[in-house]
Structure 1
Amino acid sequence: MQKPNKNVLQSLLEIFIVSSKLGLTSFGGPIAHLGYFHNEYIRKRKWMDERSYADLVALCQFLPGPASSQVGIGIGVMRAGVAGGIVSFLGFTLPSVITLILFALLIQGFDIGNAGWIHGLKIVAVAVVAHAIIGMANNLTPDLPRKAIALFALVLTLLWQAAFSQIGVILLSAFIGYLLFKETKEEPHTRVDFPISRRFATVCLGLFFGLLVLLPIMREITSWQWIAMFDSFYRSGSLVFGGGHVVLPLLEREFIPTGWLTEEAFLAGYGATQAVPGPLFTFAAYLGTVINGWTGGLLATTAIFLPAFLLILGTLPFWNILRSHPKVKGALMGVNAAVVGILISAFYHPIWTSSIKEPVDFAFAAILFSMLVYWKLPPWIIVITGAVGGTLLSYL
């Protein structure tokens, strides 16, 4: 009886170590995070095959919330159940949460938004995402029809930059893939087992929608600030489609007009968030700390990530059934191809447009890309090199 428990503890410890390393080194936003995940979980550790990873990314892109965090939770659940998902989430999220709480308590008045080392980390994201795109494109767009779907997704998401554009592109690509590939005999998927019952998943989905309805009601009938804070952060985390950057205007509308914090404090926290690794949603830790101390920071973090957690746990048990169904396979082939186009679109904007300003930036990105792809140096070396190089470039 003790051996399985020991194996579970070993798995949880392994998940925590790996996810913490990613939480300490994954700079560059959600698309870059997927590149880091792909390199660590798929290329290096083989915890999931390429197609399963792409399907999981597609599922998380479709759900509201922080896609990269949901992918990390899903991989953790696959390895060690719900506890594995929680541990994976904590490892990936805690480093930036702790850092941003300290920012709010100690240095929230500092102007770091234009620091050279932050610019260097943005260039690191260029190298990481380019590497991820090349690998995923080779596997997910091997023929002309899927290359055409990727091109369609690329063009449409670049020209139609709205909150629901990615959802629309994914739905259209799923329909196109169904029409084109419904008769295609694909190789069978590697079954990915998620040890979650359908009953538990149904409870999670019910809790997600129940809190979305009940929290505003509780806010109206009580005067407790903690309820109001939880409601604002939970609602913001529930309504974000298209990546973590969309959460910024939602949070701004929730807290600046109410007078809970000033616009200057909000912008200072945004600059701090750009300086730390991990998910952009950890901006909530800074905001909550400014409003109500470190306990407010922890409450805000819990509230904004809870919807993503409930949604991914609520959908994973049905994933294998959907992706193995003959009528769904073609649609998933179309969606996977579209994900490549969406990645390329995000690679251009905002990653490339906010990082590559001068020829020297492009040269530095090429060096970092070569270090990662050809010399196969670990990502943490790339991150340190990017930070140091960005600082040196600021003096040129």
Structure 2
Amino acid sequence: MSGAEFLLADLPEFFGRFLLLSLLSIGGAMSTAPEMHRYLVGERGWLDDGQFTTAVALAQASPGPNVIFVPVLGFQVAGWIGALAATVGILAPSTLLSLGVSRWAGKRRDTPGVRAFTAGLAPMTVSLMACAGWVLALPYLREPDHRLGGLALIALTVLVMHYTRLAPIWLILAGGIVGAVGWI
């Protein structure tokens, strides 16, 4: 598909998909990565597993918020207009909703309903992040040459994050080194 065909036919749907994903991105844009993967790789075929995973890894290794991977995906699909559509789509609805809800809930933070809602967000966010991690790990786990090393690196990362206060950037750096050396 050429860029012109994408801009004319698919940009409104692409933008609309990111608008909807914005409202599901509880815990950050990374929590919607499995659905982005399903749409961009599985359903539309605009990216392959490697391109998707590379975009996420590049953005996660960069300083800044984890939402950086969204414009990278948009750029890969449709150039600068895709990056703009994906970024505005993922940020606008959730930002406006967060502003409104935080003002409303700030005045009612001691009510049982607001406390219950806040307490329920934590397990949901952890679950969505686990799904995102699984989608990102699958391309490596499907390859027999990388399966054991990938599982070992995942297990080590989970253990270090659970039992220490080590910043995640050090684990990202370690994973990059392990990959660059060829151990995974």
SS of residue matched to 2:108: coil
Q: 1:31 to 1:45 in 2, by over 3 A?
A: same
SS of residue matched to 1:27: coil
SS of residue matched to 2:83: helix
CA distance in 1, matches of 2:104, 2:135: 41
Q: 1:52 to 1:79 in 2, by over 3 A?
A: closer
Q: 1:134 to 1:98 in 2, by over 3 A?
A: closer
**CA offset digits 1:16-46 (Å, max 9, x no partner):** 1110010122223354233343343334333
Residue 86 of structure 1 aligns with an amino acid whose one-letter code is L
Does residue 179 of structure 1 match 2:181? yes
CA distance in 1, matches of 2:103, 2:117: 22
Task: For structure 2, list consecutive stretches of 5 or more residues without a partner in the other structure.
Answer: none
Residue 108 of structure 2 aligns with an amino acid whose one-letter code is F
Residue 173 of structure 2 aligns with an amino acid whose one-letter code is L
Which residue number in structure 1 is paired with residue 60 of structure 2? 61
Task: For structure 1, list consecutive stretches of 5 or more residues without a partner in the other structure.
Answer: 182-333, 335-396
CA distance in 1, matches of 2:129, 2:103: 33
Q: 1:175 to 1:79 in 2, by over 3 A?
A: closer
SS of residue matched to 1:143: helix
CA distance in 1, matches of 2:10, 2:47: 15
TM-score (norm 1): 0.39
CA distance in 1, matches of 2:149, 2:105: 52
SS of residue matched to 2:63: coil
Which residue number in structure 2 is paired with residue 151 of structure 1? 155
CA distance in 2, matches of 1:7, 1:179: 38
**More helix per residue:** 2
CA distance in 1, matches of 2:105, 2:126: 28
Query: Does the CA contact (< 8 Å) of 2:55 and 2:69 recur in 1?
Result: yes
CA distance in 1, matches of 2:46, 2:18: 13
SS of residue matched to 2:17: helix
Residue 174 of structure 2 aligns with an amino acid whose one-letter code is L
TM-score (norm 2): 0.75
Looking at both structures, which has the greater relative contact order when contacts are Cα pairs under 8 Å and sequence separation is at least 6?
A: 1
Deviation at 1:108, TM superposition (A): 3.8
Query: Does the CA contact (< 8 Å) of 1:20 and 1:91 recur in 2?
Result: yes
CA distance in 2, matches of 1:134, 1:176: 19
| C-alpha RMSD of matched pairs (Å) | 3.1
Which residue number in structure 2 is paired with residue 167 of structure 1? 169
Q: 1:27 to 1:135 in 2, by over 3 A?
A: same
Q: 1:83 to 1:61 in 2, by over 3 A?
A: same
Q: Which of these two proteins has the greater Rg computed from alpha carbons?
A: 1
CA distance in 2, matches of 1:117, 1:7: 40
Q: Report how many residues are paired.
A: 177
Identity fraction in percent: 23
Deviation at 1:82, TM superposition (A): 1.4
Question: Where do residues 278-289 of structure 1 align in structure 2 (5 Å cutoff)?
Answer: none
